[in-house]
Amino acid sequence: MARLLEQTPQEFAARLRAAGRRRAYLVRDETGGYRPSHPLLAELADYLATESPDCADHEGFFFEVGRETGALYAACLHKTVRGQAQGGLRHWPYQRMDAFVRDGLRLSRGMTRKSALAGLWWGGGKGLIARDPGEATCDINTQRQLYREYGSFVSSLRGCYITAKDVGTTPLDMLEVFHTTRFATSVPPEVGGAGNPSPITAAGVVCAMEAALEFLDLGSLSGKTIAMQGTGHVGSAMIPMLLEKGVARILASEISAEQRWALESAYEGQPLELRAARPGETEILAEPCDILAPNALGAILDPKSIASIQARIVCGSANNPLVDDERDGRDLHDRGIIFVPDFVANRMGIVCCANEQYGHLGDDPMVRRHLDRSWQGGIHRTVKRVLESSRGSDLTPVASANRLADELAEEPHPLWGHRSHEIVRSLVNDRWDDGDPR
């Protein structure tokens, strides 16, 4: 039998069910190791404690197999000192469990840093649904069942994790999640939510681009060439903003033929060139440009791809674009390429839905101030502060941003600090994994 991390998520789910379980977890213990709820997860516990470079201060990893769908669901909690673990729900065709687990670890840690640096009272979390790579897009009823099952899973965690929209999910998917849990954001306005955060996330990335150009004394976006990897929800929303700023050219790669056709039709006659791309293709990263915007999935900047970059600035919406923060951040820095840390540039998604539980304003000043150049805590000033701290020092921009965010992540919520940690403890004490057998 294959080692756990080499199995597909579907094989792991089948093993759980064969062991008479639908739920399992790993939680951090007092020694800094990870306690598995079942011997089946012992290998994963060892991996987290001794081998994983992405595991740092994670508090728990919860798994559930859908009762009707058989899909594998997960919620990964990083540091929750500032508040409940919050992070989007990613629905993706993971080939192996190591990729599934790694995404949860990397993205939840990124959410801790993103929220802390944005001044939000959230901890870091990530939700995952493993889509079967061999299956075609499921029908609407199966899709509805999938997301409602995930919502029930989130409800069972008692609020230690708050879910939201991410890659592979839409506001309508979040509405289905919302049917079975109140611990969800990015839900449609008709049920009291802020809706799709992609447009304002795009505005934040464009703001970060302008700050980086200003740092380098390169003027405005007018006349610049932008290369974009991916034109999904955020990338496509960036296009009209960049055109309005007077960019000379946008060169974008996109996997979906339908999306390429739609954008070509919408911007006919505009300086936008779309290229077909295959999954995993990185040729767009080598295009000569002023700003390179990684807008697809993360972990695409490594020594090989960085060596091909011909941009002065790397600034996009993708989470965790560096394969290794220290190594790849240093490589970019040594080549004189300005890297704007992703969790600084793309913060507006979490900012947009951070205060949903306190009501929704059409033009919320608490949200808009993050785009205000004059506000010390805004994206523009934060980018400048991070880049200035690395100028003339041995710190790379990503190291500077990480250090600042990690310091802020240690500040406890004024009312609910460590609340999620206490909830996790209660789940363990109440034998959460026994609560809903197969």
- Positions annotated as catalytic residues are 126
CB-count burial class (<10 Å; 0-12, 13-18, 19+) for 323: middle
Can you tell me the distance from the alpha carbon of 159 to that of 372, in angstroms, rounded to the nearest whole number? 32
Burial 202-211 (b: 16+ CB within 10 A, else e): bbbbbbbbbb
Can you tell me the distance from the alpha carbon of 203 to that of 348, in angstroms, rounded to the nearest whole number? 8
Other CB atoms within 10 Å distance of the CB of residue 265 = 8
According to the 3-state scheme, what is the secondary structure of the chain?
CCCHHHCCHHHHHHHHHHCCCCEEEEEECCCCCEEECCHHHHHHHHHHHHHCCCCCCCCEEEEEECCCCCCEEEEEECCCCCCCEEEEEEEECCCCHHHHHHHHHHHHHHHHHHHHHCCCCCEEEEEEEECCCCCCCCCHHHHHHHHHHHHHHHHHCCCCEEEEECCCCCHHHHHHHHCCCCCECCCCHHHCCCCCCHHHHHHHHHHHHHHHHHHCCCCCCCCCEEEEECCCHHHHHHHHHHHHCCCCEEEEEECCHHHHHHHHHHCCCCCEEEEECCCCCCHHHHCECCEEEECCCCCCECHHHHHHCECCEECCCCCCCECCHHHHHHHHHHCCCEECCHHHHCCHHHHHHHCHHHCCCCCCHHHHHHHCCCCCCCHHHHHHHHHHHHCCCCCCHHHHHHHHHHHHCCCCCCCCCCHHHHHHHHHHHCCHHHCCCC
Can you tell me the distance from the alpha carbon of 80 to that of 95, in angstroms, rounded to the nearest whole number? 29
